[in-house]
Amino acid sequence: MSSASPTPWAGGGIGAPGLTGSVFQTVFECSPEAIALTRVRDGVLVEVNTEWLSLTGYSRAEALGRTAVEMGHWLDPEERMRVFAPLLTGGRVVDTDVTLVMQDRNPRVVRMNAALMQEQEEQYILIYLRDVTAERLAHEALRAGEQALEHANEKLNRQVKLYEVTESVAKVGHWVIYPGDSMVHLSRGYGEIVQEPGRALVPKERLLANVMEEDRERVLQARARMDGQTVEYRLRRSDGSVVWLRSRMHRQVEGGQVRADFGIVQEFTSERQARQELENQLAFIQKITSRAPGMVYEYQMWPDKRSAFPFVSAAVQQLFGLTPEEARNDPASVLRAVHPDDATMVVKSTWEAAKTVQPWHCEFRTRPADGQERWMLGYALPEVQADGSVLFCGSITDITSQKEALTRLKLSEERFRNLSALSSDWYWEQDAEFRFVRVDGDGRIDSYLAPEEAMGRTRWDSGALGVTAAQWAAHKAQLLAHETFYDFELQRVRADGTYMWASISGEPMFDVDGVFTGYRGTGRDISARKQAEADIERLAFYDALTGLPNRRLLIDRLNHAVAASARNSHHGALLFIDLDNFKILNDTLGHHMGDLLLQQVAQRLQECVRTVDTVARLGGDEFVVMLEELGMDPAEAAAQAETVAKKILQTLNQQFALASHNLHSSPSIGVTLFYQHLHSVDELLKRADLAMYQAKGAGRNTLRFFDPEMQAAATARAAMETDLRQGMLRDEFMLYYQCVVDAEGVPTGVEALLRWKHPQRGIVSPGEFIPIAEQTGLILPLGQWVLEAACAQLVAWSAKPHTQKLTMAVNVSARQFKHPEFSNHILNLLRLTGANPYRLKLELTESLLLSEFDEVIEKMSELRSIGVGFSLDDFGTGYSSLSYLKRLPLDQLKIDQSFVRDVLTDPNDAAIARTILNLAESLDLGVVAEGVETAGQHDFLLRNGCKAFQGYFFGRPVPVELLQLPNP
């Protein structure tokens, strides 16, 4: 502040001489600028200067004499207190800016320095006021400018930051090239996209450096155009990954001057991939829909009845005669293509589906553009959209051909049902488990069951008959192999109890995937055919009068029998039977009687043979009996055949009761044996026929063998039989006895051996007549006689001490033993004669054990329980099995003489003999070696443990009186 400054009071100032050199002076010195000054005494303004007046706007007159506080009204009351209170109360110097509220003037800001001063008696308030309004305004303007700048900076920073964040989030970036600049400015976003952070400024070439080769040309063209069009290209980033970029390039021109070239770049790889995927899907959908049999579409409808086809496949052309564009542009055109009769239904059902949001399903016809109406099947799923519309996605297919096929099928079904109803055939279906699921036609199917009874049941579970287990097995195998089968025949019982035959044919069914679903087929009642076949067969193979097989069937069976004989080596026999004098009977009593006789003869013949044998009628009074499975030995077979022939002779010789007549008839029988393929069937029949004529020639009512040898044997047998009968009557039989000795050669018993003292032939061996006695049944009385004689002898010996312990072995033939009364006969005999059962030993042959084994054991056990012993004759020659042997209640085994004979010369026989001895020992059985003829045999057997012997070495069979028994 310069001391040369003019006084504040000057220039019209209030001029105060008393103030000179004082505080004022100081003030003036300090504040040479225009300063408003006041002097206050006792609170009242006593002095003001011009500046004060101009500052405050008061006149001097208004101001002087007023209190300072009064004059301070230009200050705000609070401000007034702030300024004056410290001044007046504390005497402190005030230095502050205050705002003056000026009347009719703009407020002004003044710097006020006030001080309370004491000068002599007077108190002064010196107020120094300086107008700092301009200064303040300038300052404030500066501050405001600074703040605005700061604010603008901050905003800019924020915007830049926001921009960068936005770029980063949106995967957007940009570059700018200023004219004449070789560098390109890259934004941070751009750097992030191409993965080159921090390179804000790069050479221009860098922009294209990593663009994929294939896309570079496109980018270059866009750069050349700079027209803002979008260009999409790929760029390989520094990490090798490829990204899709979308860019728009602009050139900014102002006032004809190029300001900058810039490009906005956006990365849209995932969007591009999604789009690609969508495009692929769309392409696929289009491919599918273009090949699909029907049309695929999206149909949208709004509550205000607007509608649209957002998508419709190309098939709309084929189905509705519209291009997809036409359908899209005019959705109603599709409805117009619907048949008028069905349009309402289509609309209604669509609205209904939209309302209920339920699947739309509708069959309708299209308007026949070419005159031919077509059937469509529509199916769509509705979905409510955000805007309240409903979007249907679905398909429409042309089902005309299916409809036609269905109609044809229905017609065919109907025709089929009508036909089935008319015929006796039926149609059936079974499921994959072969259970009936459908039956049409005759309501009784092949089972003659009501269909409802058959449903769910298989054919074999529904009471089929007439099918063998093997046939069922074959049929089931066919079914399991899914084979077609024809004419499977089965029998059923009708509701009325009669039988019917059905013929079933069937074929397997498969679904579209080739999976087996069951069977279907037809059935036919073939009862009439079967009956006719049976009739034909009967006529062809059976004799109408007697029902017996005819010549044809006989020949057929004979062929089979010959073949069987070739297989099993058994003989068979043909018995040609002709009724004697039948012609006379027929002529005298009439054909009717003749027929009756033939029928009865047929019946009797059947009764004479086993079921395996055949009785046939060749015609007239000629019958043939065919016997099978006779013995392997021809003589044995001949004897068997002869037995049957004799039975026939005897049976046919019985009286016939024909109506009111009692007739006697007799046959002539010719017999021939057959064995394997030795002779043809014709030859066999001829031979039997020839033999029959020989029988006729021999005086009728007899039989003849074709074979002379057999005939001779038969004749001899016949003679023997007659002789046997007579021999029995004439008491020509006697018993010889052969001793059985112990190890010391002492007789312990005898074996009774039957002898026939024939008046002409002398002593006949049992080997000759026993078989004939067995065949003829004469063995029963003969055997009984032997037993009686043997028991009588036992009783006789029992009276003498030296003979009373002798045992008596008696041979019993199989036929004899198996007679139901055999045990009783023995029991009675023992009781009646009083013979000691413990001395009686029955000798059985192995052949006895071949059948009815249990009964044999039972019978043996019964007799054994009373003391009768049993011996097994000829042991080792037959079929003895050890298990049988163990079970038999035996006392003794007899080593057959055939083994004994060569026991010294044949090691096999020696081994057998030893084995039998060991076996007997282990089974606790006695052993008798029979046929011992030499001392050597005896020694051998003795050495091997045999304790009982029989044979010529000890004595031949002799009459009782010649027996060499122990001395009395």
Residues in contact with ligand C2E by the rule CB under 6 A? 738, 752-754, 765-767, 770, 783, 786, 811, 813, 843, 873, 897, 930-933, 950-952, 957
> Which two three-digit tokens encode residue 556?
């057929």
Nearest to ligand C2E of 263, 951 (CB atom): 951
**Is there a contact between 312 and 401 (Cβ–Cβ < 8 Å)?**
no
Dist CA 270 CA 267 (whole Å): 9
Nearest to ligand C2E of 175, 737 (CB atom): 737
CB of 545 to ligand C2E, least distance (A): 46
Nearest to ligand C2E of 228, 959 (CB atom): 959
CB of 862 to ligand C2E, least distance (A): 20
Nearest to ligand C2E of 128, 953 (CB atom): 953
Dist CA 353 CA 837 (whole Å): 111
CB of 599 to ligand C2E, least distance (A): 42
CB of 811 to ligand C2E, least distance (A): 3
Amino acid of residue 769: F
Nearest to ligand C2E of 640, 738 (CB atom): 738
- Ordered alpha helix ranges (H), 321-399: 324-329, 332-336, 340-356
Q: Which residues contact 12 (CB under 8 A, 6 or more apart)?
A: 50
Dist CA 75 CA 427 (whole Å): 125
Nearest to ligand C2E of 13, 931 (CB atom): 931
Dist CA 334 CA 411 (whole Å): 33
CB of 877 to ligand C2E, least distance (A): 10
Nearest to ligand C2E of 167, 843 (CB atom): 843
CB of 826 to ligand C2E, least distance (A): 14
Q: State the first-to-last Cα distance of the chain, in angstroms, to the nearest integer.
A: 204
Radius of gyration of the chain (CA): 73
Nearest to ligand C2E of 22, 934 (CB atom): 934
Nearest to ligand C2E of 264, 916 (CB atom): 916
CB of 784 to ligand C2E, least distance (A): 10
- The full DSSP string for 115-177 is EEEEETTEEEEEEEEEE-HHHHHHHHHHHHHHHHHHHHHHHHHHHHHHHHHHHHHTTEEEEEE
CB of 919 to ligand C2E, least distance (A): 19
**Is there a contact between 178 and 191 (Cβ–Cβ < 8 Å)?**
no
CB of 781 to ligand C2E, least distance (A): 12
| Alpha carbon 913 to chain centroid, angstroms | 66
> In Å, what is the CA distance from 369 to each residue of 337, 338, 374, 592?
8, 10, 10, 89
CB of 774 to ligand C2E, least distance (A): 8
Helix (H) or strand (E) holding 454: helix 451-454
> Which two three-digit tokens encode residue 940?
């051998």
Helix (H, G, I), strand (E, B) or coil at 39: strand
Count the Cβ atoms, other than its own, within 10 Å of residue 837: 20
CB of 643 to ligand C2E, least distance (A): 18
Q: Which residue has the tokens 């789009």?
A: 275
CB of 557 to ligand C2E, least distance (A): 37
Nearest to ligand C2E of 263, 783 (CB atom): 783
Q: Which residues contact 807 (CB under 8 A, 6 or more apart)?
A: 740, 748, 749, 750, 839, 840, 841, 869
**Is there a contact between 750 and 738 (Cβ–Cβ < 8 Å)?**
yes
What values do phi and psi take at 145, rounded to 5?
A: -60, -45
Helix (H, G, I), strand (E, B) or coil at 536: helix
CB of 949 to ligand C2E, least distance (A): 10
Nearest to ligand C2E of 506, 869 (CB atom): 869
Helix (H, G, I), strand (E, B) or coil at 771: helix
Residues in the chain: 968
Q: Which residues contact 575 (CB under 8 A, 6 or more apart)?
A: 624, 625, 626, 627, 641, 644, 645, 648, 669, 670, 671, 688, 703
Nearest to ligand C2E of 364, 737 (CB atom): 737
Nearest to ligand C2E of 598, 812 (CB atom): 812
